[in-house]
Amino acid sequence: MALGALLGAYHEDDSGGLRALLPVAGRSLLEYQAGCASAAGAAPIVIVVERVPAALQDAIERLRLDGIPIFPASDVDEAVTRFEAGSLILLIGDGIAPPADLVSALAEEPEPAVATFPDDEAHEAFERIDGEARWAGVALVDAKTLASTATMLGDWDLQSTLLRRTLQEGALRLPVAPDGGEPILADSPEQLEAFQRGLVAASRGTRRDWASRYILPPVEEFATAQLMETGVRPGWLVWAAFALTLAGAAAFSKGWLVAGLAMLVISTPLDTIAARLATLRLRPLPVRMLSRDLLWPAAGIALLALGIWEWGHGTGWGAVMAAVAAAAFAQAARTEAGANGAVWGVWLFSRRNAILAAIPFALFGDWTLYLITMFVYAAGSFFALQHFRRAPPELTRS
């Protein structure tokens, strides 16, 4: 069954602006709501809006540039025409910041449903349904009920009227679990600060190596906070990491070893920052992504370029052989790692680990010793993964 979404952008906040334009994670609340609906598979997404100020128009354009089909509607009758007959519609209240998981859970319901809170003091800002429950700001309604509501709406509030008609039709009530995060009804930016902090914290992905777990988090946090309020696209950062890695390889080939390492170090957090920005914008990076897949071979090229430079400048063939062997074992370990997670996986060879491990060797100017160390590191990682793969399950459980 087709799924659409209906949002509102007509209630004012405490300052006289639109609730829909309150800031959340560098974007407007409307963009966050639309991102939640799009991530749940809703299309089209219709906004009922009385006026379209410049800031709202900018938000709509950003959503369209992100590939989200969104349409403003000046009245309910126009909104009704956007949805297919018989479709289900996600209804997200004006000023509501819902957890994305709650929106996705409602979208999976086969019949109309309403998310509810208990009628208590903690939720008194939310609309009361009856003496026991209040609306949590998210519901799943059908197009037929929306159309019938439009014919008798008059001066009544669309969302409240549609909610009550949906309940009268026997919609399922789904209490919001308090431990899963609760929707926020916001009238000011301050009310969304804790919600935003939760989004930023939730964007932290799994740390698969010691570099990203122990060294890079402060850089990630700072860069994510700065970039989430900009128009920088996550994909650009991954391509920047690839370009910096190739530039580092070119610098190694010219003998600019410190400059080459600096470019590689700058590249190390960019793909994880990109992943966090994409998560915050509810548009996760694809599992297979060309620019991200190219980071590994580009790092191998940089390692070989360093080995060739060392070979040609006094250390002999041992340097290039160490680089080739390190690259070969690193690729073998990477292939082996796909078969089984290991207890000490964070300490095994990775692109980021190898780059940051070069810093102390660069300080002493002993690049050949670095290449030999990387050969031992990559080989040790490969054999460790071999052991973990063949060990009994109870020995590899973390």
Q: Which two tokens stand for residue 299?
A: 């790092």
Bridge partners of 91? 6, 139
Cα atoms in the Cβ-side hemisphere of radius 13 Å centred on 224: 28
Domains 3-195 and 208-396 share a fold: no
Q: How confident is the model at residue 255 (pLDDT cuts 50, 70, 90)?
A: very high
Do 19 and 13 form a contact (C-beta atoms < 8 A)? yes
Q: Residue 94: its pLDDT value, please? A: 93
If DSSP codes are grouped into helix, strand and coil, which group holds residue 331?
helix
Do 24 and 228 form a contact (C-beta atoms < 8 A)? no
Q: What is the pLDDT of residues 101-124, one digit of tens each?
A: 999 999 999 999 999 999 998 899
**Beta 133-142 vs 88-92: how paired, if at all?**
antiparallel
Count Cβ atoms below 10 Å from residue 187 Cβ, excluding itself.
Answer: 16
- pLDDT above 70: residue 396: no
In terms of CATH architecture, what is 208-396? Up-down Bundle (1.20)
Any idea where the domains of the chain sit in the sequence?
Answer: 3-195, 208-396
If DSSP codes are grouped into helix, strand and coil, which group holds residue 166?
helix
Q: Which two tokens stand for residue 20?
A: 């829909």
Average pLDDT of the chain is 90
- pLDDT above 60: residue 398: no
258/251 Cα distance (integer angstroms): 9
Do 291 and 233 form a contact (C-beta atoms < 8 A)? no
Let me know if 197 is exposed, middle or buried by CB neighbors in 10 A (0-12, 13-18, 19+). Answer: exposed
If DSSP codes are grouped into helix, strand and coil, which group holds residue 270?
helix
Asked whether the bond before 53 is cis by omega within 30 degrees of 0, the reply is no
Residues 6 or more apart whose CB falls under 8 angstroms from that of 24 comprise 31, 32, 97, 192, 195, 196, 199
Least confident of 17-21, 156-160, 191-195, 295-299: 156-160
Q: Give the highest mean pLDDT range of 45-59, 137-151, 232-246.
A: 232-246
Q: Residue 339: its pLDDT value, please? A: 44
Q: How confident is the model at residue 158 (pLDDT cuts 50, 70, 90)?
A: confident
195/318 Cα distance (integer angstroms): 55
Average pLDDT over residues 86-105: 93
Cα atoms in the Cβ-side hemisphere of radius 13 Å centred on 137: 22
Do 323 and 307 form a contact (C-beta atoms < 8 A)? yes
Let me know if 250 is exposed, middle or buried by CB neighbors in 10 A (0-12, 13-18, 19+). Answer: middle
Do 28 and 59 form a contact (C-beta atoms < 8 A)? yes
The candidate with the shortest Cα–Cα distance to 348, out of 397, 374, 385, 381, is: 381
| pTM score, whole prediction | 0.83
Least confident of 241-255, 283-297, 353-367: 283-297
Angle, helix 234-254 to helix 257-267, in steps of 10 degrees? 160
E-only strand ranges, the chain: 3-8, 23-24, 27-28, 45-48, 70-73, 88-92, 96-97, 113-118, 133-142, 172-175, 184-185
CATH of 3-195, one of 3.40.50.2300, 3.90.550.10, 3.40.190.10, 3.40.50.300: 3.90.550.10
- Entry field: residues in the chain: 398
**Following CA atoms 6, 171, 146, 76 in sequence, which dihedral angle do they give, to the nearest 10 degrees?**
-50
More confident residue, 209 or 392: 209
